[in-house]
């Protein structure tokens, strides 16, 4: 599994930085965002170091599909209300102009009662 020694999310995957884990399998790690924008806010990441959505190719279609399919199930598990009254927001910031600060691909999943800090 490829890791970048300078990447904060690779360090979380390796257990060198602690995280509040929501889900883990062979290829995906999910943990709570340290500065939540919403009552429920967790991040889904591939364990492999992929810098951004701009680096995704055909070889990643299975991984991306599995992450997206996992999002609503974990959102419900973490306290988001059911669709359609509840629901959740899924965001992938990509590149500087896309608002990406951590350059290890991550999917934000946010939900819970409003108002939220952002959005
Ligand atoms: P982005 O702007 O999309 O790159 O978002 C990066 C997110 O990572 C922000 O919401 C941060 O709060 C979150 N974050 C940064 N460091 C950690 C950490 N050690 N544990 C959990 N979340 C983190
Ligand atoms: Zn990384």
3-state secondary structure the chain: CCCCCCCHHHHHHCCCCCCCEEEECCCEEEEECCCCCCCEEEEEEECCCCCCHHHCCHHHHHHHHHHHHHHHHHHHHCCCCCCCCCCEEEECCCCHHHCCCCCCCCEEEEECCCCCCCC
pLDDT, one tens digit per residue, over 72-92 is 999 999 999 999 999 999 999
Q: Is the pLDDT of residue 98 over 70?
A: yes
15, with CB counted inside 10 A (0-12, 13-18, 19+), is exposed
Residues with CB under 6 A from ligand 1: 8, 17, 19, 33-35, 43, 93, 99-102
pLDDT > 90? residue 116: yes
pLDDT at 1 over 70: no
CB atoms within 10 A of CB 5: 9
CA-nearest residue for atom 19, ligand 1, is 34
The confidence band for 111, taking pLDDT boundaries of 50, 70 and 90, is very high
pLDDT of residue 2: 85
Closest ligand (CA of 16): 1
**Atom number of ligand 1 nearest to Cα 19:** 20
For 4-44, write each residue's pLDDT tens digit. Answer: 999 999 999 999 999 999 999 999 999 999 999 999 999 99
Note the pLDDT of residue 119.
Answer: 77
Q: Is 106 a catalytic residue?
A: yes
pTM of the model: 0.98
């Amino acid at each position: 599994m490829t890791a970048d020694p300078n990447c904060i999310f690779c360090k979380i995957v390796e257990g060198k930085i602690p995280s509040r884990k929501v889900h883990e399998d062979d290829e995906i790690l999910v943990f709570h965002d340290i500065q939540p924008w919403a009552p429920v806010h967790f991040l889904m990441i591939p364990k492999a170091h992929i810098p951004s959505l701009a680096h995704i190719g055909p070889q990643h279609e299975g991984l991306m599909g599995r992450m997206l399919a996992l999002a609503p199930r974990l959102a419900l598990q973490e306290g988001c209300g059911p669709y359609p009254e509840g629901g959740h927001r899924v965001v992938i910031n990509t590149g500087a102009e896309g608002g990406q600060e951590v350059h290890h691909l991550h999917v934000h999943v946010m939900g819970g009662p409003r108002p939220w800090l952002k959005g």
